[in-house]
Amino acid sequence: MHEFSLMTGVLDAVEISARENNASKITEVKLVIGAMSEVLEEAMDFAFEALSPGTLAEGARLTMTKVSPKSRCLACGEEFEHDRLHFACPRCDSLATQLIAGKEMYIESMEIET
Ligand SMILES: [Zn+2]
């Protein structure tokens, strides 16, 4: 479960930035998860429940937003969103496309109490 190591990184990052902002508590953490990232939301929830006690994020709400993959067509330059299975360019039907977004996982924002 690589979600545990991802969540460890998330908690480290939010805790550092919460302390820099003199927060006494983190109330919400918002993550963005690319549909191609292989990150399972349920596993992230589980990791959060397991790892957050004792940190500033204990009891915080974890919100995850899934973003669609996006590719660029190498034939015509079109950029388009698609699902996990369909990669063909909607403009020219080319299958020569390059994934430019959708594998990422990052912290979008967080809410704190001071
Ligand atoms: Zn194209």
Q: Please give the torsion angle defined by the CA atoms of residues 83, 105, 109 and 58, in that order, rounded to the nearest 10 degrees.
A: 120
Residues 54-111 pLDDT 10s:
999 999 999 999 999 999 999 999 999 998 888 899 999 999 999 999 999 999 999 9
Structure tokens at 34: 């690319």
CA–CA separation, 29 and 14 (whole Å): 8
How many angstroms separate the alpha carbon of residue 22 from the centre of ligand 1? 49
Any alpha helices (H) in 52-91, and if so which ranges? none
Asked whether residue 1 carries a pLDDT value surpassing 80, the answer given is no
Residue 112 β-bridge partners? 26
Q: Separation of 89 CA from ligand 1 center, angstroms?
A: 5
Ion ligand 1 neighbours, Cβ < 5 Å = 73, 75-76, 78, 89, 91-92, 94
Number of domains in the chain: 1
Is 28 inside a domain boundary? yes
Question: Does residue 41 lie within any of the structural domains?
Answer: yes
Q: How many CB atoms are closer than 10 A to CB 13?
A: 14
Q: How far apart (Å, rounded) are the C-alpha atoms in residues 24 and 22?
A: 7
Residue 78 lies in a domain: no
Say if 82 falls within a structural domain.
Answer: no
CA of 2 to the centre of ligand 1 (A): 35
| Per-residue pLDDT tens digits for 5-62 | 999 999 999 999 999 999 999 999 999 999 999 899 999 999 999 999 999 999 999 9
Q: Is residue 84 part of a domain?
A: no
